[in-house]
Every structure is written in C-alpha cells, then in structure tokens.
Amino acid sequence: MDGLLGFLLLLLLILVLYWVFFRQAPEQTQPREATPANRVRTPGKAQRRKRTPEELAAEKARREREREQDRLDQIEERRRKMEERRAQEDEEKRKSLEEATRRMQEEDERRRRLAAREAADSTVGREFARYISDPVPADIKRSMQAFLAGEFVGSDRSPLAYVGYRVGKTNGLPVWDRERRMKVCFRIDIPPELRREYASWGGPGSRERLNAMCAHLRMLAAMRRERPNFEVAVSEWERDADWLKGELGDLAEKFSRHGVTW
C-alpha cells in the first residue's frame, strides 16, 4: 500500500513538471499583410520630364551661339598673336636699322677724325686746333653741367640748349651773351648724350655744324611764329640765325675745305 501511494505521488510529480516545462508554446504572431499604408517605399529614379519643342529649339540655339563665340574667340586669338609677332618683327627691324645707322655714323665720324688728324699739321690745322682748344667760360660750363644733370629751362634739348642759349622776353639772354654761347656751341664737340640724335650737326667748326645751328633756330621760329607772346623769341631766333651765317660762315667754310674738322 505504501509502495502504491509513493508510485502515484511520483507520477503526479512528473505530470506537474511536464506541464510546467513542456507546456505548448503560444502561437506565433502571423505577419501582417503589407498594405499601401504600411508598405516600405524604396527610392527610385524620378521620371524625366519631356521637354517642349520650344525648349529644344532654345537649347539648340544656345549651343550654336556658344560654338560661334568659340570660333570668334579663336579668330581673335590668332589675330592678336599675329599682331604681336608682327610688332616684335617691326621692333627688331627698327633696332637693327638703328644699330646699322649708328655704326655707319660712328665709322663716318672715325674717318673724318682720322682725316682731320692727318691735316692737323697744316697751317689751317693748327689754327683749328687753337680755335677748338679755347677754354669754355665758367658760367657756360656750369650751364653745360646743369643740362646734363637735367636742370635746364625751356623745351629745347639741342646742343644750343646744352650751352645755355635762351631767347624771349621772360627768360631770354641779352644779345652779347647769346652770341658767345652760340660761338661755344659752334666749336665744341657734342656730348655723347646728344651725339646720336644730333649726328647731322657734324664736327666742331664745320660747315655742317653751322648750317645745322642756323636751321634749328629757323625751325624754332617757324614753329612758334603764330603763337601769342612769342614775338620777341621769334625775332631773336631769326636775328641770331642771320648773325651766325655772317659771323662764322667764312671760318666754317675754311675749316671744312681743308678737312681739319670732322
């Protein structure tokens, strides 16, 4: 009897444990059917709008304008490069011509100086040497130094201005001072700073120097003849040109004829 009771209690215990540990799991929740409201939307490409004929025509016209502008830009760039190349060639030609002219002038002056040295032993040659060796007055020498330093009055930059020659009622010099400065200009060597521009003025005491001085004075008078307040200056330029011819004409002719100047 006790054994049967123990067996029943054991069986009851097994049933209880089975019910506790091995009871049936609840039904799994079935997934809901996707609806338009809860359906996940995946991103996709937006559909391109079809352009109108007017838009297509405008796009075509824009591209044609861009192509035409590119063509014009290329033409302009080629033209600019051609002009730059032409300007560079012209500049090179100008420099080459200036250099050739300078060499010719230097060679011509060298020959003239050589001929003058060969004629220096003559009577006229010695007279010429004494004439151009006469000291330059101190005040005129100061004018020459001031000119080379950039300190001068007026717009003239010629060898006459170099020796301080001036006319006019405001800053002009008296007749006696202008005459002695013109004589100095006639007998000195032109400084290197002016030699290239005034190469046609020739050597000191020469026929070319005298003619160039007279022509320069007459040119100044002609340029300002019609301007107001230049009456005094014009009359003094013309008077001085005539004086030069009369005062130094024979001397210049003699020096040039005997080849003692250059």
What is the predicted pLDDT for the residue at 29? 47
Q: What pTM does this model have? A: 0.58
What is the C-alpha to C-alpha distance for residues 204 and 133, in angstroms, rounded to an integer? 11
Q: What is the pLDDT of residues 22-70, one digit of tens each?
A: 665 444 445 555 555 555 555 555 567 888 888 888 888 998 999 989 8
Per domain, the residue ranges of the chain are 119-257
- For residue 45, the model assigns a pLDDT of 57
Q: Is residue 112 very low, low, confident or very high in pLDDT (cuts 50, 70, 90)?
A: low
* pLDDT mean across residues, the chain: 84
From 159, 151, 215, select the one nearest 192 (Cα to Cα). Answer: 159
Task: Give the model confidence (pLDDT) of 7-19 as tens digits.
Answer: 777 877 777 777 7
CB 139 within 8 A of CB 184: no
Contact 212/251 with Cβ under 8 angstroms? no
Q: Where are the beta strands (DSSP E) in the chain?
A: none
Rounded to the nearest 5 degrees, what angle is found at the Cα of 252, between the Cα atoms of 152 and 201?
Answer: 45
First to last CA, the chain: 169
**What would the two tokens of residue 49 be?**
């709008």
Average pLDDT on 101-130 reads 74
